[in-house]
Chain A
Amino acid sequence: MSEGESVDLVLVLAIQVLFAMASLALISVGLAVIFGMMRVINLAHGEFLMLGGYSAIVANQHGVNLWIAMLVVAPLVVGAIGVVVERTLIRFLYGRMIDTMLATWGLSLFLIGLVTGIFGNTTVGISAPLGGMAIGNYRTSIYGLVVIAITAALLVAIYLVLRYTRLGLFARGTMQNPNMAAALGLSPPKVYAVTFGIGAALSGLAGALIAPISGVFPTIGIAYIAKAFITVIGGGAAILSGTISAAALFGAIQEVATYFTTPVFGVVITLAAAIVLIRLLPQGITGRFLKRWL
């Protein structure tokens, strides 16, 4: 292998690592919003991803442009489902962590059953748009780069909303002290519903963006929920910096480990790293570092 070629390979691998980080951050950020802001452990998170994938594919099959289906239809549909779930299920259970876990687990089973009933327990998928591009002698998918870019834009947008808008201020205020927020004229139930809806919408978007890469089937959420939880727990209390730092760490470890060993050992090494991390930093990365960040 010539020097030029090995530079190309490093570049291709770097893109792969970035993609792994981005996709981890993508599938985790909806969970992080719901868990980080509302202390609700949403075990139906994986199913929100799955519903996002189905929304995008079904919309696309009905003639909606793929990008609109993924970037608009999926988050809207899943966000709406999220609001309905919050109003009918979650709002009765705030502050009761175990009960919300049970309720959302039930919801997860219900959604899997419902979708299996409608679409059948088969893999559906769409081809990734945009094709490939050459990096020297290597090739990589343009769509992967787009996913990286969209994730970066999304994280920046979340930061801006939380930091600089009234909506973000209301949300942060309500999460910190709901009674004080209510005394100042806010309606905490409304803020909760909107926050939960936004968390669900983010999950729907993530599920849609991942659909062309992995395909969608009713139980696909199971494949993602563990990764998402490990990322959120590993990241700690801060929604954004926690998700980003944990996704970067675990994404890099998994990708590099998979490249140098096998897919099986890649997962083993990542999980081992997660255990070590939680042992050393029980409050997650942002429990020790980046404490004052969002």
Chain B
Amino acid sequence: MKIARRALLKTSAATAAAVSTGTMLSSRGYAADPIKVASIHDLSGGLDIYGKPMVDALTLAIEEANAAGGLLGRQLKLVSYDPQSNMQLYTQYAQDAALKEKVAVVHGGITSASREVIRPVLDRFKTLYFYNTQYEGGVCDRNQFDTGVTPAQTVQKLVPYSMKKWGKKVYIVAADYNYGQITSEWVKRYVKENGGETVATEFFPLDVTNFGPSIAKIQAASPDFVWSALVGGAHISFYRQWAAAGMNKKIPMASTTFAVGNEHIVLSPEECNGMLICYNYFQDLKNPQNTAFVERFHKRFGANYPNITELAMGTWQGFQLWAAAVKKANSVDRMKVIEALETPISIDAPSGKVTIDAPTHHCILDVHIAEVRDKKLNVLEDFSQQPPADTAAVCNLKKNPNDNKQYVIKA
């Protein structure tokens, strides 16, 4: 084959150009490289009751996004870590996700303790972080978005509702770490604002399984109802021992954590019927979005999937908010995505409309009060589009974009 010198020169120049473009691109990943999304959720240990549904929701979200052609023409890849309910592993995996896998975003952390472990790591290595769990509020960090509900959205609604139904004397039992400590402060504050009285607050480390003395103490205080902010597998035995003494028939209970780990399915109906809870999402919400979502979820994970939890929906919504921002920014670059999220991004989710509150990086969303009844969660009352007023009282990232701490809100 005879090749003209001029033609040869032309081709090689084009090739060289193509190669150099390729090299330029490769520093940011080839166009065909998948976008990596990290998941750091406990899939074993005492917190696995929360983590499994969260990872399932994220898995489904990514599979659906990929089936629809991916994001920006690239496929998504889930990089999943199981920190085994162990704080040290959280640090290690967050570093691994940021430095080795160079993921575009991390969705993860269940307890507030674990969030405060990985948040500084992801800040330091400039990796966007979504915390999708309902929590005590107050985190103010431009690198992070919190898609879960906070006390001003839930406790504020559930306290007056329960007090109207049961009475004004409240006894709080809570998990002994930042979530339980701060949440119980909020409960106290709203009880006081509604003219009630908190007779006592008691904290339990996550591995406590014998609640006998505390149950006697609660009876001695004879409150109108008990507020539970207990967390994890070991604390389920509180509800068991409470019911075994027949207390569930005598003193009712409201909770900011119950059913989030499907406790209402693990326990028998007799042990927990009538408890009141308040969250953003319930599987039985009646709207077309949710009906379709539950159907897809069941198709993927089986029709006998116990329950799509609040945290699973938080994770789903966290991912969708991030994906919508990536589309809007037309990039996975951290700063560009943050700025897009702050525009603000709003999605129509199965739980209703969810909008990023730009000054706090929390969400404006619907909440509902529900009652536990025969392994189901029956919605009793709806509250539309609740702002994260607690965090907003202390945090304004528009004014102070370099703010980076968790405010302990004086309740």
Contact = CB atoms under 8 A, between A and B. Distances in A.
A172 B237 CA distance: 40
Contacts of B222: 137
Given A121-B44, A122-B233, A141-B245, A263 B208 contact: yes
B54 to A, nearest CB: 15
A140 B233 contact: no
A9 interface: yes
A259 interface: yes
Contact of A131 (B236, B241, B244): B244
Given A125-B266, A127-B267, A215-B234, A138 B216 contact: yes
A264 interface: yes
Interface in B215-237: 216-217, 219-220, 222, 233-234, 236-237
A264 B204 CA distance: 7
B48 A259 contact: no
A226 to B, nearest CB: 12
B285 interface: no
Nearest to A130: B244
B205 A123 contact: no
Nearest to B261: A123
Interface stretch (A12-20, A174-182, A279-287): A12-20
Contacts of A116: 44
A213 B216 contact: no
Interface string A65-76: 000000000000
A272 interface: no
B234 A16 contact: no
Contacts of A263: 202-205, 208, 213-214
Interface residues of B, number: 40
Given A132-B247, A140-B245, A264-B205, A122 B213 contact: no
A160 interface: no
Given A9-B219, A214-B237, A263-B204, A123 B212 contact: no
A259 B211 CA distance: 10
Contacts of B246: 131-134, 139, 141
A120 interface: yes
Contacts of A223: 207, 209
A196 interface: no
A168 interface: no
A88 interface: no
Nearest to B251: A139
A125 B209 CA distance: 12
Contacts of A130: 244
A214 B216 contact: no
Contacts of B250: 139
Nearest to A6: B220
The CB with the most chain A CB atoms within 10 A, among B45, B202, B210, B214, is that of B210
Given A16-B213, A128-B244, A213-B210, A138 B219 contact: yes
The CB with the most chain A CB atoms within 10 A, among B202, B209, B244, B266, is that of B244
A173 interface: no
Given A9-B219, A9-B220, A132-B245, A213 B44 contact: no
A236 B208 CA distance: 27
A121 B354 CA distance: 34
B390 interface: no
Contacts of A131: 244, 246
A63 B202 CA distance: 38
B176 interface: yes
The CB with the most chain A CB atoms within 10 A, among B176, B209, B236, B267, is that of B209
B46 interface: yes
Contact of A123 (B202, B220, B234, B268): B234
B237 A20 contact: no
Nearest to A138: B219
Given A19-B212, A223-B209, A262-B202, A125 B236 contact: yes
B244 A143 contact: yes
A144 interface: yes
B202 to A, nearest CB: 7
Nearest to A140: B245
A60 interface: no
A37 B354 CA distance: 66
A241 B41 CA distance: 48
A139 B208 contact: no
Contacts of B236: 123, 125, 215
Interface in A36-91: none
A123 B240 contact: no
A127 B220 contact: no
A183 interface: no
Given A143-B244, A215-B234, A255 B212 contact: yes
B310 interface: no
Nearest to A224: B209
Contact of A120 (B44, B204, B270): B44
Nearest to A259: B213
Contacts of B237: 125, 213-215
Interface of B: 44-46, 48-49, 84, 176, 202-205, 207-210, 212-214, 216-217, 219-220, 222, 233-234, 236-237, 240-241, 243-247, 250, 266-268, 270-271
The 4 closest A-B pairs by CB, nearest first: A132-B246, A123-B233, A214-B209, A121-B44
26 contacts: A1-B220, A9-B219, A9-B220, A12-B216, A13-B216, A121-B48, A123-B234, A127-B240, A127-B267, A128-B244, A132-B244, A133-B246, A138-B216, A138-B220, A140-B216, A140-B245, A141-B245, A141-B246, A142-B244, A214-B237, A217-B46, A223-B209, A258-B214, A263-B208, A263-B214, A264-B176
Given A121-B48, A127-B268, A213-B209, 10 more contacts: A20-B210, A125-B266, A127-B243, A132-B246, A137-B222, A139-B247, A213-B241, A217-B233, A263-B213, A264-B176
